[in-house]
């Protein structure tokens, strides 16, 4: 198991904290501070106990060595200072003597943010020399970036071997919520898996059908399932080369007694455009020249009826083209049902991954979910059942037999 940073006396120590402050920014201002706020919530008590925070993060995917100022993390400082409740100082480098001197000048309860890790090629290369230079910035290392734990980078992997390594509060919160929902869910447990492509979620589907009681498949990937059953596709997005994969997933599900629910009616339009004239037809009757953009009302009712019996609901990916009306209905109505069940205390609801949070925000239900992960790619890899390198690096080394 990982050791929480909250288990040690942090007073006077320089905590070298890997955060994920990779947040949306528009015209130099943070437009969604969720990751910053969730990170800060766990750090504030440590600051109050006299910790000295040296914060590392990446932002975007800059070309290493080019130092494109657009990727500077300095612009995150106002939002971070607000969230932490202390003015955050800034080091315009992260693995230099100057940064070390700044880290050593911190007093108890103060915080320093270091420049974008990804300006240095050593970060993504998991370079031990870069990690060793970073390690000089702290007395102990804290990984609080669950959403980066799928990356074996210097600041998430190599560094954990160089300093006493601890797990931060947000990382622990994420791990517990996801473990409870996936590894020991209260049954019946149902997953909702949407999004465009089967091919990007093969491993997720294979893992989930082996563990849960039902999987609701929606979005573009449901088209491929329908196609595998011989349904016409018109102009719909689907992956003809994934038919064997779909059959394999269905066989695995049958073997483990997991029900797969697909749309039984579909909303089709001639164009992927706001308010395009739409028809609702049975799932095997997509008209020529149209594309499937959402699940229909009969499907929504069936999905929601299945959720009514669930005690655990896991959600990744939208069920239709939720960004444009009127093709947002399956996503919105199913999100609202899950949120209501959660609100009434009837089900534990856990969501995460890329578009999912945007979809829940659009439905206005994020606050009712039991847990909404801050992770995109890391959430997906967790659903695949993979060991995340950033978490593995926090585990104590195995004793030789
Ligand atoms: C994310 O936003 O998903 C994380 O910050 C990881 O970013 P990356 O996909 O660029 O590694
Ligand atoms: Mg990502």
Which residues are in the CB-under-5-Å shell of ion ligand 2? 376-377
339 vs 317: CA distance, rounded Å? 15
Render pLDDT for 236-253 as a digit per residue (tens, 0 to 9): 999 999 999 999 999 999
Q: Kindly indicate the confidence band of residue 204, based on its pLDDT and cuts at 50, 70 and 90.
A: very high
* Mean pLDDT, the chain, integer: 95
Inform me whether the pLDDT recorded for 138 exceeds 90.
yes
Q: Distance from CA of residue 266 to its chain's centroid?
A: 28
Instruction: Identify the pLDDT of residue 396.
Output: 82
Whether 57 and 117 have beta carbons less than 8 Å apart is answered as yes
Inform me whether the pLDDT recorded for 149 exceeds 70.
yes
Distance 147 CA to ligand 1 centre (A): 7
Atom of ligand 1 nearest to the CA of 378: 3
Render pLDDT for 31-42 as a digit per residue (tens, 0 to 9): 889 999 999 999
Instruction: Identify the pLDDT of residue 51.
Output: 98
Going by their DSSP bridges, the two strands 312-316 and 14-18 should be labelled as unpaired
Q: Kindly indicate the confidence band of residue 358, based on its pLDDT and cuts at 50, 70 and 90.
A: confident
- Counting ligands in written order, the one closest to the CA of 376 is 1
Distance 180 CA to ligand 2 centre (A): 23
Nearest-5° angle of CA 26, CA 19, CA 183? 110
Nearest-5° angle of CA 143, CA 27, CA 70? 60
Q: Kindly indicate the confidence band of residue 81, based on its pLDDT and cuts at 50, 70 and 90.
A: very high
Task: Write down the pTM of the prediction.
Answer: 0.91
- H or E segment to which residue 372 belongs: strand 371-372
- Mean pLDDT value of segment 251-262: 98
Tell me which of 71, 377, 380 to substitute to probe ligand 1's pocket, judged by most ligand atoms within 8 Å of the beta carbon: 377
State whether the beta carbon of 148 lies less than 6 angstroms from ligand 1. Answer: yes
Instruction: Identify the pLDDT of residue 246.
Output: 97
* Nearest alpha carbon, ligand 1 atom 9: 377
Instruction: Identify the pLDDT of residue 398.
Output: 64
State whether the beta carbon of 61 lies less than 6 angstroms from ligand 1. Answer: yes
State whether the beta carbon of 122 lies less than 6 angstroms from ligand 1. Answer: no
Atom of ligand 1 nearest to the CA of 22: 5
State whether the beta carbon of 151 lies less than 6 angstroms from ligand 1. Answer: yes
Inform me whether the pLDDT recorded for 359 exceeds 90.
no
- Mean pLDDT value of segment 71-100: 97
Render pLDDT for 379-400 as a digit per residue (tens, 0 to 9): 999 999 999 999 999 998 765 5
Instruction: Identify the pLDDT of residue 275.
Output: 84
Atom of ligand 1 nearest to the CA of 375: 3
Task: Please enumerate in sequence order all residues whose Cβ is within 8 A of that of 116, keeping only pairs 6 or more positions apart, or say none.
Answer: 57, 58, 59, 60, 62, 71, 72, 73, 94
Q: Kindly indicate the confidence band of residue 196, based on its pLDDT and cuts at 50, 70 and 90.
A: confident
Render pLDDT for 158-176 as a digit per residue (tens, 0 to 9): 999 999 999 999 999 999 9
* Nearest alpha carbon, ligand 1 atom 5: 22
User: Which range (2-11, 39-48, 137-146, 189-198) has the least confidence?
Assistant: 189-198
Share of the chain above pLDDT 90, in %: 90
- Mean pLDDT value of segment 203-217: 96
Instruction: Identify the pLDDT of residue 198.
Output: 87
* Nearest alpha carbon, ligand 1 atom 2: 22
239 vs 116: CA distance, rounded Å? 38
User: Which range (61-65, 85-89, 99-103, 232-236) has the least confidence?
Assistant: 61-65
State whether the beta carbon of 163 lies less than 6 angstroms from ligand 1. Answer: no
Render pLDDT for 179-191 as a digit per residue (tens, 0 to 9): 988 889 999 999 9
Distance 187 CA to ligand 2 centre (A): 31
């Amino acid at each position: 198991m990982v050791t929480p940073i909250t288990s040690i006396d942090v007073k006077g120590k320089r905590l070298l904290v890997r955060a994920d402050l990779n947040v949306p920014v528009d015209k130099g201002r943070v437009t969604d501070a969720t990751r910053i706020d969730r990170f800060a919530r766990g750090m504030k008590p440590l600051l109050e106990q006299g910790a000295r925070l040296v914060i590392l993060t990446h932002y975007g995917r800059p070309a290493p060595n080019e130092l494109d100022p657009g990727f500077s993390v300095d612009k995150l400082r106002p939002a971070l200072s607000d969230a932490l409740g202390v003015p955050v100082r800034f080091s315009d480098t992260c693995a230099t003597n100057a940064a070390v001197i700044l880290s050593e000048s911190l007093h108890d309860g103060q915080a320093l943010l270091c420049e974008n890790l990804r300006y240095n090629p050593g970060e993504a290369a998991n370079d031990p020399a870069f990690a060793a230079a970073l390690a000089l910035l702290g007395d102990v290392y804290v990984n609080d970036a669950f959403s980066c734990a799928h990356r074996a980078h210097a600041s998430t992997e190599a560094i954990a071997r160089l300093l006493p390594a601890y797990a931060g509060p947000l990382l622990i919160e994420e791990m517990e919520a996801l473990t409870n929902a996936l590894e020991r869910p209260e049954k019946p447990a149902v997953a909702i898996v949407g999004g465009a492509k089967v091919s990007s979620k093969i491993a997720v589907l294979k893992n989930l059908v082996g563990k849960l009681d039902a999987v609701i498949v929606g979005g573009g990937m449901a088209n491929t399932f329908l196609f595998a059953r011989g349904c016409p596709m018109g102009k719909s997005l689907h992956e003809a080369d994934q038919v064997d994969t779909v059959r394999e997933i269905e066989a695995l599900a049958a073997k483990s007694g997991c029900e797969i629910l697909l749309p039984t009616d579909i909303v089709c339009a001639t164009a992927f455009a706001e308010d395009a004239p739409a028809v609702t037809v049975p799932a095997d009757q997509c008209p020529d020249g149209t594309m499937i953009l959402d699940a229909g009302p009969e499907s929504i009712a069936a999905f929601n009826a299945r959720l009514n019996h669930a005690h655990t609901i896991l959600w990744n990916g939208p069920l239709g083209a939720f960004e444009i009306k009127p093709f947002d209905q399956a996503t919105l109505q199913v999100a609202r049902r899950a949120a209501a069940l959660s609100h009434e205390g009837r089900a534990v609801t856990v969501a995460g991954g890329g578009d999912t949070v945007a979809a829940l925000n659009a439905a206005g239900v994020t606050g009712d979910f039991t847990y909404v992960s801050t992770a995109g790619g890391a959430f997906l890899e967790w659903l695949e059942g993979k060991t995340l390198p950033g978490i593995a690096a926090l585990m104590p080394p195995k004793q030789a037999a």
